[in-house]
Amino acid sequence: MSGAGAPAMSVDGSGLNVVVIAASWHTQVMDGLLEGARRALRESGARWSEVRVPGSFELPVAAARLTGLSGRPVPEAGDTAARLPDAVVALGVVIRGGTPHFDYVCSAATTGLADVSVRTGIPVGFGLLTCDDEAQALDRAGLPGSREDKGQEAVQAAVATAVALR
């Protein structure tokens, strides 16, 4: 299991502004990832907002826009000037099918998210599940009976990195 050896993290994210970007495909898995992310954000004390995009392929462009890499970031409701987030968390799931589509989407999303993080200096928590089948995705979604909670782990990594870079 990929979670073996993961560090136990509890980080004080008070004062941090985090944006969670979540894909919409595979509703049950995404619901679990989002709930794990929300729980970790509540525990950290960070402020957060959520943005939904159609699929995992769209995660990098949303991250780029929200971090100011590709134009002005989208302001929160009531803001007169958009504030860059201290961290971004990208959540999505791609399940292998019978065509190379899986490889293209996984590669583009992974490379795009890493590029946003490196070019902006803003941590991007990587909560993109790349699974061979739905059972693997459900086992990592943080749902009752799941062995892992990748939504929680992605938040913890992003918040811990943002705190370390302060």
> Which residues are marked as active site?
101
58 annotated to bind ligand: yes
Q: Report the b/e string of 23-60 with b at 16+ CB within 10 A.
A: beebeebbebbbbbbbebbebbebbbeeeebeebbbbb
Cβ atoms 94, 106 nearer than 8 A: yes
122 annotated to bind ligand: no
140 annotated to bind ligand: yes
126 annotated to bind ligand: yes
57 annotated to bind ligand: yes
In the beta sheet, which residues pair with residue 22? Answer: 52, 91
| C-alpha span between 3 and 96 (Å, rounded) | 20
48 annotated to bind ligand: no
70 annotated to bind ligand: no
Cβ atoms 139, 25 nearer than 8 A: no
Annotated binding site for (2S)-2-hydroxy-3-oxobutyl phosphate: 98-99, 140
Residues annotated in the binding site, as ranges?
25, 56-58, 93-95, 98-99, 126, 140
Query: Binding site membership for 5-amino-6-(D-ribitylamino)uracil: which residues?
Result: 25, 56-58, 93-95, 126
